[in-house]
Amino acid sequence: MIAGAVAFAAASQGLAQEKLAAPNLNLPGLSEYANPEAPENKPLANTSELILEAKLKEGDPDIERGLVWRVFSPEPDDNDKLPLVASAKGGTISLHLPEGSYLVHVAYGRAGATKRITMHKGTRHESMILDAGGLKLNAVLPEGGKIPEKLLRFSIYEGDEDNANDRSLIIPNVKPNSVVRLNTGTYHVVSNYGSANAIIRADIRVEAGKLTEATVEHRAAQVTLKLVRERGGEAMADTAWSVLNASGDPVRESVGAYASMVLAEGEYVAIAKNKDRIYQRDFKVVSGQNEEVEVLANGDYEPAGDESLD
């Protein structure tokens, strides 16, 4: 697997059966107009029963749990918002509504669908097709090396290639190996290993009714910098750190006895400032080789052999 490559695996079993916490309200096509405040769902006279169910795709079994249902009046109120008539959570639900037209919205994670219905006397059964799937993300080092989950996060953006420089963020800070439910489509995924420059981007396709598992590969390592008076000595406190890449661009700054960070594979310059004196050292990051880098405060650092961190 080359750096930045993505491995995929898809499975259609079990996606609709996984438990899901209720998501934040995100109504496709309604978010600017819908009033999310739910009224009390009291029984009303002269109502008809509406049975609602949802599927990931046509022909799939009904989703049994994790759905958030909302029924809106299609007529805006005085604030130009669509009043929320009823709401419920779970799988298949039953509501009692007066005759009239409504907008029904169902959310399953970040996937959603909206349909206009008209209620008459009698029971109405409505099936909503979400056209949605799941996305499970992870990242590794070369040759399958593991990355600590606490240092790994993903962000999911819209995958519109026409607006590549202005993509809308859909979900930030996604934990590895968590399942995110999304409508069918292509999404732009950004993987951050640490908070410096170890970043991988990939476009990933989500298919209806399937769980897509994608693994990206980072070529990076964890580095800890310390300023010492002699090799193997104690780190000097109150040190201001700057790390520059091979082009001289700043990558990371921090203050303290130690500067710990994750850096992409490559060559760097560590600059340490302590009591108005400045020291520096060139060093090289090799993917998967976590290392401690010492900068000598006496200014006479001489590399012992290979400058790589091995």
Read off the pLDDT of residues 160-218 as tens digits, 9 standing for 90 and up.
Answer: 766 667 789 999 999 999 999 999 999 999 999 999 999 999 999 999 999 999 999 99
Tell which residue, 173, 208, 207, 211, has the closest CA to residue 189: 173
Residue 308 lies in a domain: no
% of the chain surpassing 90 pLDDT? 74
Residue 81 lies in a domain: yes
Residue 13 has a pLDDT of 36
Residue 178: Cβ within 10 Å count: 12
Residue 58 has a pLDDT of 94
* Domain enclosing residue 199, as ranges: 6-13+132-217
Shared domain check, 122 and 61: yes
Shared domain check, 150 and 235: no
The larger pLDDT score, comparing residue 24 to residue 32, is at 32
* Residue 133 contacts residue 209 (beta carbons within 8 Å): yes
Concatenated DSSP letters for 76-118?
A: --TTS-BPEEEEEEESSEEEEEESEEEEEEEEETTEEEEEEEE
Which tokens hold the place of 193?
A: 């290993």
> Is the whole model's pTM more than 0.75, yes or no?
yes
Q: In whole angstroms, what is the distance from residue 220 CA to residue 92 CA?
A: 47
Shared domain check, 162 and 114: no
Which tokens hold the place of 164?
A: 């590549």
Residue 27 lies in a domain: yes
Shared domain check, 289 and 263: yes
The three state secondary structure string of 255-303 is: ECCEEEEEEECEEEEEEEEECCEEEEEEEEECCCCCEEEEEECCCCCCC
Question: 122-163: per-residue pLDDT in tens?
Answer: 999 999 999 999 999 999 999 889 999 999 999 999 987 666
The larger pLDDT score, comparing residue 3 to residue 115, is at 115
Residue 176 has a pLDDT of 97
Residue range 225-240: mean pLDDT, rounded? 95
Residue 47 has a pLDDT of 87
The larger pLDDT score, comparing residue 306 to residue 44, is at 44
Residue 56 lies in a domain: yes
Residue 250 lies in a domain: yes
- Residue 167 corresponds to which amino acid? R
CATH number at residue 23: 2.60.40.10
Shared domain check, 81 and 110: yes
Shared domain check, 288 and 232: yes
* Residue 208 contacts residue 56 (beta carbons within 8 Å): yes
Vertex 244 angle, CA 240 and 249, to 5° = 120
Where among 200, 217, 234 does a domain terminate? 217
Shared domain check, 191 and 137: yes
With the CA atoms of 155, 210, 2 and 267 taken in that order, what torsion angle do they form, in degrees rounded to the nearest 10?
10
Residue range 44-54: mean pLDDT, rounded? 86
* Residue 182 contacts residue 140 (beta carbons within 8 Å): no
Shared domain check, 39 and 99: yes
CATH number at residue 276: 2.60.40.1120
Which tokens hold the place of 91?
A: 């799988």
Shared domain check, 34 and 116: yes
Residue 141 lies in a domain: yes
Where among 217, 250, 285 does a domain terminate? 217
Shared domain check, 120 and 48: yes
Residue 304 has a pLDDT of 37
Shared domain check, 253 and 208: no
- Number of structural domains in the chain: 3
CATH number at residue 201: 2.60.40
State the chain's mean pLDDT as an integer.
85
Shared domain check, 282 and 256: yes
Residue 29 has a pLDDT of 40
Residue 310 lies in a domain: no
Where among 97, 129, 161 does a domain terminate? 129
Q: In whole angstroms, what is the distance from residue 204 CA to residue 186 CA?
A: 5
Residue 1 lies in a domain: no
